[in-house]
Each structure stands twice: as structure tokens, then as C-alpha cells.
């Protein structure tokens, strides 16, 4: 019997999807592409808690403000599915609230009830069918909850602007049920929060663990906790937002108490990779510590200590960002402006994988951070919005041959040829692999 040539399907799923071998975004063997003998770090796999990520380009969580009472929609399927087919090493889905009042806006994602699992399973299953690992960022917005989606408050074209950020009850908000460590609003245009009682702290803590149990059923590959950008975990850490006088406030040890307890419980419930996003500095005026040794704001020195404690509890990667808790923050924005903070954490904890973010747009730039030991992975968001195929473009620019999706290979002929010394690089024209390669160049017959 002659050999069969079949467009192989992904096994074990209930529909036909073409199988990519190797997985999209994986660097080909040097036996096929000799130029891959010395891979850039960006395209070297990284193994975290026994799970191997095919490259080090991770999709950063991006709030879409498009959920239906916390439930993912077709928007999320297309948004996330598009990244899954374009070569990234991992996708972290957006900030997902563990309780309804923990959403940033009424349209934020949630994971506080079982009915929210099914649409997420569809997204996760599709990502897995494309050979892409996927996780979710569990969150509580704290004093920054019950606010408008960005384009509801104001548009970038500056054709309108709301007088406040607060979403009222008539607009789907919950301004009288916003919770925080202390009753300090983020600004006078944000809700005034209610200080959390011990009972409320425990309720939210347990909600994180319950969300982890749902993550297991959904099939996520990793979890990230949002401890940055002025949301609840960050609010407990910072003396700018936490002025409590009980066991959760005052000293650094007390301010770290609740975030560390949440991390410890999540680690106990979750045996896959566990990431934690922090804001390494708040960009507030003045020093992190005054001459008397009192911590005045959250900064890199406390971040080093906090990360050390997270490491003891088994956190596997730190996703290092900055800012978001001080409304008057002044940030010197520029390419890689947040990388020095990731580098500082990497120097303090060289055995812990560190991710870096912040205006990373160029492949050589990203590679320099990794090859220079400043971080272990890069998290991209806005650049991936602008250039969804950034991972494949980066490979091309860095001289690496990686696997595009089968359906997209014709867009990457220049990167993929020649496959080996002496191979033809002439792949102009029609449908590759069907005997139609040169039809577009054939002269017309009279």
C-alpha cells in the first residue's frame, strides 16, 4: 500500500484543526536550519516547575473590558486565539476578579462562579490545540474598583471626557461596596473605599483559593496573581494606601502579611507554575525610606524583600512592572524604562525567573535584556496589539527559523528558505506543496 499524505488533525478534540509540528513559535532543529545552531535567548525554551515554555515571549495580561457579568465572550476567544496562532511562548489572560466587587469595571472578567468556566475552557482548549501554554491573572481591584472602562471615561481622540471615573449603580457599578485596606481613595475622582474587616479579608482570601480550583477544571497551565498597579494586593503592601494599625498595617512585616498568606494558600492549592506580578516602585516623590528608617512608599528595596518571601512560599516567576498606586506618579517613560527594576530583582534573586515589561518593541532590544541577564522572559502587550505576529517577525529579524502556523507559512517564505545548504530559495507564486508553486509566473498560453 502506498504511503498516505494526510493533513493531520490535532488529536483528542471535537473538531478538525490542523496539527502544527513542531508547535507554532518553536525554533526548528539546526539539522534543518543550520542558522539555529546558536539560538538567541529569546527563542531558547525555559522550564518552570517542570513545564517547558517553547520561547520567552509571553503575552502580558490585557484588560479588555468586554465581559458579560464576568463571563468571557467571543471577543476574548478571537483576541486570545489570535495570539495562540502566532508563535508566542505563553499567554496570560487578563485580570480576572475573584469576587464581583473586585472588578475594575462592570465589564471586567471574573472567576467567582462556575458558569464563568465554560467559555474560558473553550479558549484554553483552542490555545492548547495550537501548542500554546496559557494562564490567567487572578485579581481584586481594591480601591480602584467600580470605575468606567477607559473609553467610557474618555477617548484618546479627546472628543469627550467624563467628570469622574466612578461607575454608579445605574451604570452597573458598586461605589458603596468598594473595599481596600484603608479608607483612602486613589484620587478624588475615584470611589471612597471601605476598610476591610478581618472577616472580609478572609472572605477574599478564600475567594482566591476557590478561583484556583476553577482554574484546575478549566485547564490553565499557570496562574499569576496581580499584586501590582495599585490594586488590592499592592494596596496592602504600600504605606501610601495602607495606614492600618492592626496586624495588616504599619511595619513591612505586617503590610506583607496578607499578600503572603494569599500566596501561600494558592501555592498549597496549585501544583503548576505560579507567577506573581508586582509594582517594584510607585514613582512617588521622595525617598523610599526616610532618614529615621521609616518606609514612606513602596519601592525596590521592599520589593526585593517581598520577592524573597514569595520565593520561600514557592512562587516560580516574578512579573516585574511598576506604578499605579500614586495618582501623582511621574514616570520617565522610554524604551525598556522598567527593565532596571527587573534587573535589580534578578541580581537580588538570581535563582528566580524574572519577567520584564515596558515599551519593549524591538527584537534586538528584547534579546539584549535576556542575554544580558537582566530578565528571563519578556511580557509584551501593546506591541502585540500593533503587531500580532511579533514573535515570528522577531525570529526573522534575529536570523532564526521558527515554525509559523501551517495556514500562515506562505507569509514567511523568506524566513523559511533555504531550509538547508543547497536548497532552493525560489518559492514565489501559488499554493506551496500542491504543484502550483510556479503557476503565478507561468506565461499565458495563446
Question: Per residue in 301-320, pLDDT tens?
Answer: 999 999 999 999 999 999 99
pLDDT for 417: 83
Positions marked active-site: 231
Question: What is the C-alpha separation between 72 and 70, in angstroms, rounded?
Answer: 7
Q: How far is CA 263 from CA 9, 102, 106, 233, 297, in A?
A: 39, 17, 26, 10, 22
Question: What is the C-alpha separation between 45 and 27, in angstroms, rounded?
Answer: 9
pLDDT for 439: 38
pLDDT for 310: 98
- Worst-scoring range by mean pLDDT, 208-212, 322-326, 347-351, 416-420? 416-420
CB atoms within 10 A of CB 125: 16
Look up the CATH number of domain 39-387.
3.20.20.70
Instruction: List the one residue out of 273, 262, 347 whose CA is nearest residue 317.
Output: 273
Grouping H, G, I as helix, E, B as strand and the rest as coil, residue 294 is coil
pLDDT for 223: 98
| 13's grid cell | 478534540
Percentage of the chain modeled with pLDDT above 70? 93
- pLDDT(433) > 60: no
- Worst-scoring range by mean pLDDT, 28-32, 381-385, 418-422? 418-422
DSSP 8-state assignment for residue 68 = B
What pLDDT digit, counting tens, does each position of 58-98 carry?
999 999 999 999 999 999 999 999 999 999 999 999 999 99
| 53's grid cell | 515554555
What pLDDT digit, counting tens, does each position of 367-398 carry?
999 999 999 999 999 999 999 999 999 999 99
pLDDT for 328: 94
| 386's grid cell | 500593533
Mean pLDDT across the stretch 10-39? Answer: 96
- Domain positions in the chain are 39-387
Question: What is the C-alpha separation between 440 and 108, in angstroms, rounded?
Answer: 49
Mean pLDDT across the stretch 432-443? Answer: 44
Q: Is the peptide bond before 110 cis (omega within 30 degrees of 0)?
A: no
Helices assigned H by DSSP within 270-361: 300-312, 339-348
Q: What does R_g of the chain's alpha carbons equal in angstroms?
A: 24
What pLDDT digit, counting tens, does each position of 123-135 carry?
999 999 999 999 9
Question: What is the C-alpha separation between 177 and 146, in angstroms, rounded?
Answer: 9
Task: Work out the pLDDT band at 441, boundaries 50, 70, 90.
Answer: very low
- Worst-scoring range by mean pLDDT, 96-110, 169-183, 357-371, 409-423? 409-423
Mean pLDDT across the stretch 138-163? Answer: 97
Task: Work out the pLDDT band at 138, boundaries 50, 70, 90.
Answer: very high
Mean pLDDT across the stretch 88-117? Answer: 98
| 14's grid cell | 471535537
What is the pLDDT of the chain when averaged over all its residues? 94
E strand or H helix at 208: helix 198-218
Task: Work out the pLDDT band at 440, boundaries 50, 70, 90.
Answer: very low
Q: How far apart are the first and last CA of the chain?
A: 41
Instruction: List the one residue out of 49, 48, 75 whose CA is nearest residue 62.
Output: 75
pLDDT for 434: 47
Measured at the CA of 114, the angle between CA 108 and CA 118, to 5 degrees, comes to 80
pLDDT for 197: 98
Amino acid at each position: 500500500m502506498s504511503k498516505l499524505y494526510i493533513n493531520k488533525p490535532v488529536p483528542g478534540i471535537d473538531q478538525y484543526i490542523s496539527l502544527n509540528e513542531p508547535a507554532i513559535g518553536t525554533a526548528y532543529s539546526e539539522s534543518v536550519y543550520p542558522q539555529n545552531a546558536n539560538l538567541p535567548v529569546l527563542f531558547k525554551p525555559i522550564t518552570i516547575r517542570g513545564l517547558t515554555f517553547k520561547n520567552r515571549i509571553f503575552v502580558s495580561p490585557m484588560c479588555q473590558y468586554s465581559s458579560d457579568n464576568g463571563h468571557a465572550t467571543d471577543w476574548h476567544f478571537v483576541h486570545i486565539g489570535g495570539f495562540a496562532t502566532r508563535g508566542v511562548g505563553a499567554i496570560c489572560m487578563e485580570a480576572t476578579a475573584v469576587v464581583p466587587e473586585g472588578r475594575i469595571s462592570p465589564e471586567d472578567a471574573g472567576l467567582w462562579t462556575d458558569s464563568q468556566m465554560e467559555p474560558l475552557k473553550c479558549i484554553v482548549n483552542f490555545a492548547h490545540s495550537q501548542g500554546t501554554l496559557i494562564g490567567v491573572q487572578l485579581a481584586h481591584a481594591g480601591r480602584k474598583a467600580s470605575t468606567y472602562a477607559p473609553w467610557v471615561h474618555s477617548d484618546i481622540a479627546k472628543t469627550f471626557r467624563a467628570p469622574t471615573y466612578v461607575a454608579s449603580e445605574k451604570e452597573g457599578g458598586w461605589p458603596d461596596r468598594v473595599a481596600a485596606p484603608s479608607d483612602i481613595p486613589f484620587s478624588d475622582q475615584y470611589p471612597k473605599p471601605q476598610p476591610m474587616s478581618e472577616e472580609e479579608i478572609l472572605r477574599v482570601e478564600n475567594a482566591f483559593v476557590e478561583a484556583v480550583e476553577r482554574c484546575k477544571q478549566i485547564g490553565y497551565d499557570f496562574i499569576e496573581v496581580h499584586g501590582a498597579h495599585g490594586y488590592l494586593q499592592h494596596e496592602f503592601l504600600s504605606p501610601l494606601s495602607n495606614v492600618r494599625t492592626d496586624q495588616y498595617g504599619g511595619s513591612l512585616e505586617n503590610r506583607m502579611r496578607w499578600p503572603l498568606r494569599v500566596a501561600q494558600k494558592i501555592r498549597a492549592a496549585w501544583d503548576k507554575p505560579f507567577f506573581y506580578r508586582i509594582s517594584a516602585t510607585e514613582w512617588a516623590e521622595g525617598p523610599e525610606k526616610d532618614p529615621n528608617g521609616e518606609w514612606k512608599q513602596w519601592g525596590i528595596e521592599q520589593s526585593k524583600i517581598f520577592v524573597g518571601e514569595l520565593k520561600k512560599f514557592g512562587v516560580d516567576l516574578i512579573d516585574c512592572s511598576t506604578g499605579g498606586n500614586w495618582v501623582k506618579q511621574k514616570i520617565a517613560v522610554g524604551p525598556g524604562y522598567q527593565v532596571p527594576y527587573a534587573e535589580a530583582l534578578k541580581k537580588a534573586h538570581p535563582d528566580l525567573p524574572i519577567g520584564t515589561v515596558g515599551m519593549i518593541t524591538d527584537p534586538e532590544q528584547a534579546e539584549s535584556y535576556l542575554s544580558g541577564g537582566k530578565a528571563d522572559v519578556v511580557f509584551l502587550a501593546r506591541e502585540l496589539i500593533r503587531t500580532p505576529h511579533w514573535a515570528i517577525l522577531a525570529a526573522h529579524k534575529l536570523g532564526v527559523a521558527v515554525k509559523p502556523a501551517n495556514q500562515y507559512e506562505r507569509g514567511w517564505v523568506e524566513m523559511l528558505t533555504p531550509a538547508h545548504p543547497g536548497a532552493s530559495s525560489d518559492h514565489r507564486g501559488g499554493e506551496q506543496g500542491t504543484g502550483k508553486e510556479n503557476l503565478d509566473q507561468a506565461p499565458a498560453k495563446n
